[in-house]
Amino acid sequence: MIKVGIAGGTGYTGVELLRLLSVHPQVTLQVVTSRTDAGTPVCQIYPSLRGFVDLPFTHPDQALLEKCDLVFFATPNGIAMQQARSLLDAGVKVIDLAADFRLTDIATWEKWYGMTHACPDLVTEAVYGLPEVNRAQIESARLVANPGCYPTAVQLGFIPLLEAGVIDTDSLIADAKSGVSGAGRKGEIGNLFAEAGDNFKAYGVAGHRHLPEIRQGLQRATGGKEIGLTFVPHLTPMIRGIHATLYGRLKRDIDLQALFEERYAKEPFVDVMPSGSQPDTRSVRGSNFCRLAVHQPQGSDTVVVLSVIDNLVKGAAGQALQNMNIMFGVAENTALNNIALLP
């Protein structure tokens, strides 16, 4: 059995990890930490876990995380980098669901996240946990940087086109929409029902923290070529889901449907839908799938890719569990075969 700890179990990604891990046949949950709810049974905060998770929350100062085989950090940015080294030295593998180890350029990370990195040397060791790109490296990794939600949806949509070299890399556009759970469980006026309901707005137009992460991933797909990307996120009046509409200019004719189907033919959690499809967010709600559809409107030189994921599953906890399965040689789809919730 894999002994698992979760640092920061009260947020939305934390409870999603608990939901998925509680039914994993090869996992034993050892400890779930929380500063504010220490001593409180997990199922008292989240009644949905009654009968599945019997642990209480443990204060981080009293949690024996070093006794685990793997620790998930479902904590705010800046926490995992403070504790990763001691856990790795104790032989514990780490998956960070925040952004501490995603960007390879430390100066860029410090600029976007507004703090000094505590362990820049570990950034070079960390493996970016997008299985569709880095599966082989994830298998042998001690430290995995779980991708962000927007970066997952955008990269999976653009990667086949960039790897094949069929689109202009100077003028990519990612127009993405997310449900309010992407902002986390903290109380903020903009996330109140009366503010977000019956409303739709863009945010982070001048620059969003996920922009450098997306650029980094897309640049890798081109072999290092510079990427010109306009990324605009939007907040939608729904709880879960990301819909990314991606635009690129084709440099030559190619069978786009065949390109996508061949690229993801062996990927268990990427579904390339039939030609002409328009995937919606509820088709992936609660599941670890990314559903893609590729279009060439009016036969022009513009390619449009539609990419949908559940931001809390394939965009966070589900992908983290997928990475754990790979790291421990477990079948990749273990505890992740659930079908999307509909309606």
Question: Residue 250 falls within a domain, yes or no?
Answer: yes
Same domain for 109 and 215?
no
Q: At what angle do helices 210-221 and 131-139 cross, to 10 degrees?
A: 80
CA 193, 198, 201, 203: dihedral to nearest 10 degrees?
A: 10
Same domain for 188 and 101?
no
Same domain for 180 and 246?
yes
Same domain for 158 and 240?
yes
Same domain for 91 and 229?
no
Q: Dump pLDDT digits (tens) for 306-326.
A: 999 999 999 999 999 999 999
Same domain for 59 and 186?
no
The CATH number linked to 235 is: 3.30.360.10
Domain span at 194: 150-311
Q: Assess whether 149 carries a catalytic annotation.
A: yes
Mean pLDDT of 127-142: 98
Residue 279 has pLDDT above 80, yes or no: yes
Same domain for 115 and 217?
no
Q: Dump pLDDT digits (tens) for 215-269.
A: 999 999 999 999 999 999 999 999 999 999 999 999 999 999 999 999 999 999 9
Question: Residue 328 falls within a domain, yes or no?
Answer: no
Residue 186 has pLDDT above 90, yes or no: no
Single out the catalytic residue among 68, 119, 149, 290.
149
Residue 123 has pLDDT above 80, yes or no: yes
Report the SS3 class of residue 93: strand
Say if CB 138 and CB 324 are below 8 A apart: no
Mean pLDDT of 278-288: 98
- Give the pLDDT confidence score for residue 264 in this predicted structure: 98
The CATH number linked to 10 is: 3.40.50.720
Question: Residue 93 falls within a domain, yes or no?
Answer: yes
Question: Token pair of 54, please?
Answer: 């019997």
- Give the pLDDT confidence score for residue 188 in this predicted structure: 79
Cα angle: 164, vertex 170, 175; to 5 degrees: 90
Same domain for 116 and 185?
no
Report in angstroms the alpha-carbon separations of 15 from 38, 316, 317.
15, 11, 9
Question: Residue 252 falls within a domain, yes or no?
Answer: yes
Same domain for 81 and 168?
no
Question: Residue 336 falls within a domain, yes or no?
Answer: no
Could you tell me the pLDDT band of residue 190, with boundaries at 50, 70 and 90?
Answer: confident
Cα angle: 194, vertex 207, 250; to 5 degrees: 110
Same domain for 204 and 262?
yes
Question: Residue 134 falls within a domain, yes or no?
Answer: no
Same domain for 112 and 182?
no
- Give the pLDDT confidence score for residue 228 in this predicted structure: 96
Question: Residue 203 falls within a domain, yes or no?
Answer: yes
Same domain for 167 and 255?
yes
Domain count for the chain: 2
Q: Dump pLDDT digits (tens) for 40-94.
A: 999 999 999 999 999 999 999 999 999 999 999 999 999 999 999 999 999 999 9
Mean pLDDT of the chain: 96
pLDDT > 90: what percent of the chain? 94
Question: Residue 7 falls within a domain, yes or no?
Answer: yes
Could you tell me the pLDDT band of residue 27, with boundaries at 50, 70 and 90?
Answer: very high
- Give the pLDDT confidence score for residue 125 in this predicted structure: 97
Q: Which residue in the block uniquely carries the two structure tokens 């992908």?
A: 319
Label residue 115 exposed, middle or buried (CB < 10 Å: 0-12, 13-18, 19+): exposed
Could you tell me the pLDDT band of residue 295, with boundaries at 50, 70 and 90?
Answer: very high
pLDDT > 70: what percent of the chain? 100
